[in-house]
């Protein structure tokens, strides 16, 4: 409790600390990537900044070819930035939620307690340790399995490095690849498909869910958050796979040329990667326009809370749909898994979605005036940067100087979280006066 | 009160009656427009249906040239469909809200009382009479003023008809014009600009607002709804005019070639027409892509409740923004003009916006797979049809058969109102069980 009151006397609020921390990592990363021995040929400052931001925010949008334009040193820097960005935010989320608790009332503390079974300071330290050990262990195991596949193909040195790089990039939902066509050459490879997607799904579902599943035996005993995330992830991935298979299986540029087995793997991969891993095994720009529009939605929804992914978050999306459905049924509060969802959670979800839509809308408006590119390229790039997804129809390396700046800011906001940013900017309310009720026609 | 209980025993719910009524008008309209003497050359059934739907839903998207492809008889049919569609929905909204009252509780009834000072059946009849007299009077006065401009230009016969046609089309926010380039030839004409915009702004602000302003003397005594609509309309129009002027004044294809006076009139016109009149004085497709994206937002927001316009409605948009701002400030209920907005109003607004976004999203997804057109054309067409705006980048008459069907359904939904439709489809809730509270991480 002494630590709590101590932390409360810091001059910065948690969102400001988070933004500051990310800012410092990005600046150091930019300086390191600008070093002559980081790249095979000199790069501009804006491209160094763009790459450092993309890595730290685990986005994966690239203005340079990670495999060809960066030296081994440069690639290691990128890998470290990804690890700091991915693990760092998860750690920060847990610490903030558990200790600093700005706007965290009794209700939220009980929620944390339920989710993590931890609420003392000692518990937090233990929890962060578990998070680190778990993450590194997962990455290590996956790297070893990937090595089985890639050492025979590329030899010991590059085979092991590329396994470690892609393992870290996948678990942290970074989407950076050492190959310019991402994982397209492994479109039908079951081992690569399975290892990479399991990594980014575990990383993206959120640590509280992983911890809950590890420490609780039965589904019925899981926290409400865990139940929603598990069921929601299964449903959205199955639906997405079916939609993508239906829209692409006859497209000669994507699935049309593949065998049925490869078609299923590719549909699965493109269904799970937009929330918000960012690897791809088929060319995004070759997909059916309908599939591209559907992918926009998946990128906007994003991953789980306190995870290596971004977006508005799957729970936010589910709560919003549930609230609308509840309103239509004439009920007061949404009910899911026999639990009532408080109005405050609904309003928080509403705030997240509206602020996110405003941010993406303004980005699209700005890029529409500055970039000379098809509208769908711009829309796709904006959703991808906001969700820190990293998929692109090919606009990224053709962005103007202004366009790169906009995308850099958007990746930063997307990772910090639009609501966090909004809280950081909002002034706290004055003591409130109680006004009489008023009413308005809507719709 | 006898009428009330009588109406409650009707087999159809109000949304079903509304949909049915519009459906019948559209079918009759289609049959009439398909008559040999309605058009100068034979037209297809789908084009007759499209035109009848566009007119009845006061959208203004056209697959045919209203001035050239239809005879005077056909044009009169279109004009009548517009009048029925525009006035009919306003009338229906008032009657439904006052008498039928599905989901209308005490709170809403008090709101109506506050807005219209009417709540008895006799009051309703009187009110509908006032609505009709007011509307026809406004249209008549405007037609006379327009005649001053157009009779000298086109002679007595066509001059008077075109004045009446454009007056009705403008007041009902239909956006149908007898000229294929809409009102582009009057881009700098103060009389036409002023008359047409005043007509569609009055029609689009909603009859409750007009009635309140007519019967109440001071701003402070206006209902909350009236205050929000008046202030909101001024703010959004001024902001829109500034944005459009800033983005277009150096565009040689639009404002660049005009004098400063014409530039101001054109900026004003294009600022007010997307919510949801649909006339234009500059070519939409020639506008800066940024202006086009901004126009999407205006089209989505739309006009006022119980008006001749559609969209999610300006009040809905304001309530949503207000709710987000309130949440960020850590307060419970939004406050505006010293009145608290109930959570129920916020949830209703949320439902309207989410359902609308889903409808527009699905439309864009469908049209992306069916239409061979630039993505921005498809997005623009979908927002325009949903908001029953009628502006187009030129896709309408190039739509496939499937695309026309989609847009017909979208115009219908857009006019009936997405929430009305959702209520019509939703089953009512079972007696509710009280569940314990649960909690979820969002964002
Ligand atoms: K990513
Ligand atoms: K219209």
Q: Which residues surround ligand 1, an ion (CB under 5 A)?
A: A 60, 173, 175, 278, 390
* Contact at CB, A324 and B350, closer than 8 angstroms: yes
What residues of A are in contact with residue B366 (Cβ under 8 Å)? 290
- The answer to whether position B3 is within a domain reads no
Please report the pLDDT score of residue B35 as a whole number.
95
What residues of A are in contact with residue B324 (Cβ under 8 Å)? 350-351, 354-355
Question: Chain A residue closest to B332 (CA)?
Answer: A344
Tens of pLDDT, residues A325-362:
888 887 778 888 888 888 878 888 888 899 999 999 99
Q: Quick one: which H or E segment has residue A198?
A: helix A190-205
Please report the pLDDT score of residue B8 as a whole number.
52
Rounded Cα distance between A376 and A390, Å, is 15
CA distance A338 to chain B (A): 6
Length of chain A (residues):
443
Phi (first) and psi of residue B182, to 5 degrees:
55, -130
* Contact at CB, B293 and A368, closer than 8 angstroms: yes
Q: Are B315 and A442 in contact (CB under 8 A)?
A: yes
Ligand 2 mean position, distance from CA B78 (Å): 13
Please report the pLDDT score of residue A391 as a whole number.
94
Check pLDDT > 90 for residue B406: yes
pTM comes to 0.90
Ligand 2 mean position, distance from CA B87 (Å): 14
- The answer to whether position A442 is within a domain reads no
Please report the pLDDT score of residue B107 as a whole number.
47
Please report the pLDDT score of residue B322 as a whole number.
92
Reading the block at residue B105, the tokens are: 């509780």
Per-window interface: A 368-427 vs B, CB < 8 A: 368-369, 374-376, 379, 417-420, 422-423, 426-427
What residues of B are in contact with residue A208 (Cβ under 8 Å)? 441
Give which of B93, B119, B343 is closest to A439, Cα–Cα. B343
Integer angstrom CA distances of residue A8 from A121, A209, A419: 14, 28, 20
- What is the residue-wise DSSP string for A285-350? GGS-HHHHHHHHHHHHH---TTSS--SS-HHHHHHHHHHHHHHHTT-SS-EETTEEEPHHHHHHHH
Please report the pLDDT score of residue B103 as a whole number.
44
Considering every ligand atom, which ligand is closest to the CA of A273?
A: 1
DSSP state of A96: I
Rounded Cα distance between B19 and A355, Å, is 34
- The answer to whether position B440 is within a domain reads no
Q: Where are the beta strands (DSSP E) in B9-58?
A: none
Reading the block at residue A210, the tokens are: 């992983």
Q: Are B412 and B196 in contact (CB under 8 A)?
A: no
Helix (H/G/I), strand (E/B), else coil: A259: coil
Tens of pLDDT, residues B235-294:
999 999 999 999 999 999 999 989 999 999 999 999 999 998 999 999 999 999 999 999
- The answer to whether position B1 is within a domain reads no
The predicted model gives B28-37 an average pLDDT of 96
Question: Chain B residue closest to A354 (CA)?
Answer: B324
With a cut of 70, list the residues of chain A below it in pLDDT.
1-14, 95-124, 422-443
Q: Are A386 and A303 in contact (CB under 8 A)?
A: no
Interchain CB contacts (distance < 8 Å): A and B: 239
- The answer to whether position A429 is within a domain reads no
What residues of B are in contact with residue A417 (Cβ under 8 Å)? 443
Give which of A308, A313, A385, A387 is closest to A89, Cα–Cα. A308
CA distance B246 to chain A (A): 12
The predicted model gives B380-398 an average pLDDT of 95
Question: What's chain B's average pLDDT?
Answer: 86
| A374, burial (CB in 10 Å: exposed 0-12, middle 13-18, buried 19+) | middle
- The answer to whether position A438 is within a domain reads no
- How many other C-beta atoms lie within 10 A of the C-beta of residue A433? 7
The predicted model gives B379-391 an average pLDDT of 96
Tens of pLDDT, residues A191-249:
999 999 999 999 999 888 888 888 887 888 888 888 999 999 999 999 999 999 999 99
Reading the block at residue A102, the tokens are: 């700005």
- The answer to whether position B443 is within a domain reads no
| A172, burial (CB in 10 Å: exposed 0-12, middle 13-18, buried 19+) | buried
Query: How many structural domains are present in chain B?
Result: 1
Please report the pLDDT score of residue A119 as a whole number.
44
Rounded Cα distance between B59 and B82, Å, is 9
Q: Are A21 and A47 in contact (CB under 8 A)?
A: no
Please report the pLDDT score of residue B146 as a whole number.
95
Rounded Cα distance between B267 and B288, Å, is 13
The predicted model gives B78-101 an average pLDDT of 77
Reading the block at residue B185, the tokens are: 């030839």
Question: Chain B residue closest to A427 (CA)?
Answer: B329
Rounded Cα distance between A296 and A361, Å, is 13
Considering every ligand atom, which ligand is closest to the CA of A388?
A: 1
Nearest to B323 among A107, A347, A443 (CB): A347
**Domain span holding position B208:** 13-423
* Contact at CB, A350 and B324, closer than 8 angstroms: yes
- The answer to whether position A1 is within a domain reads no
Reading the block at residue A175, the tokens are: 């989407």
């Amino acid at each position: 409790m002494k630590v709590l009151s101590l932390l409360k006397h810091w001059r910065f609020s948690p969102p400001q600390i988070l933004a500051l921390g990310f800012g410092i990592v990005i600046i150091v990363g930019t300086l390191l990537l600008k070093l002559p021995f980081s790249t095979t040929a000199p790069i501009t400052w804006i491209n160094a900044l763009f790459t450092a931001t993309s890595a730290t925010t685990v986005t994966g949008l690239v203005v340079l070819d990670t495999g060809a334009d960066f030296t081994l040193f440069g690639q290691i820097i990128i890998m470290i930035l990804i690890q700091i960005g991915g693990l760092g935010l998860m750690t920060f989320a847990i610490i903030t939620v558990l200790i600093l608790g700005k706007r965290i009332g009794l209700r939220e503390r009980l929620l944390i307690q339920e989710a993590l079974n931890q609420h003392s300071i000692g518990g937090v330290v233990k929890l962060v340790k578990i998070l680190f050990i778990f993450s590194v262990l997962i990455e290590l195991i996956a790297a070893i399995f990937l090595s089985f596949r890639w050492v025979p193909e590329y030899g010991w040195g590059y085979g092991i490095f590329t396994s470690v790089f892609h393992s870290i990039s996948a678990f942290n939902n970074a989407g950076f690849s050492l190959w310019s066509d991402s994982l397209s050459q492994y479109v039908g490879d079951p081992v690569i498909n399975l290892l990479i997607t399991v990594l980014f799904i575990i990383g993206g579902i959120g640590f509280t869910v992983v911890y809950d599943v590890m420490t609780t035996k039965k589904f019925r005993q899981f926290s409400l958050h865990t139940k929603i995330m598990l069921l929601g992830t299964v449903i959205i991935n199955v639906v997405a796979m079916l939609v993508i298979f239906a829209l692409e299986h006859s497209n000669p540029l994507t699935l049309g040329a593949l065998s049925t087995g490869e078609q299923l793997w590719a549909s699965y991969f493109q269904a799970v990667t937009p929330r918000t891993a960012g690897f791809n095994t088929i060319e995004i720009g070759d997909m059916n326009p309908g599939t591209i529009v559907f992918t926009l939605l998946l990128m906007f929804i994003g991953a789980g809370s306190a995870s290596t992914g971004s977006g508005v978050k799957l729970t936010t999306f589910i709560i919003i749909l549930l609230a609308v459905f509840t309103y239509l049924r004439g009920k007061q509060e949404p009910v899911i898994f026999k639990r009532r969802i408080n109005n405050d959670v609904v309003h928080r979800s509403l705030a997240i979605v509206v602020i996110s839509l405003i941010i993406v809308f303004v980005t699209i408006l700005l890029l529409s005036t500055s970039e000379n590119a098809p509208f769908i390229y711009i829309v796709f790039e904006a959703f991808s940067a906001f969700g820190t997804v990293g998929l692109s129809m090919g606009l990224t390396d053709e962005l103007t100087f202004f366009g790169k700046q906009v995308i850099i800011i958007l990746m930063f906001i997307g990772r910090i979280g639009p609501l966090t940013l909004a809280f950081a900017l909002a002034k706290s309310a004055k003591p409130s006066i109680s006004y009489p009720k008023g009413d308005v026609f809507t719709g």
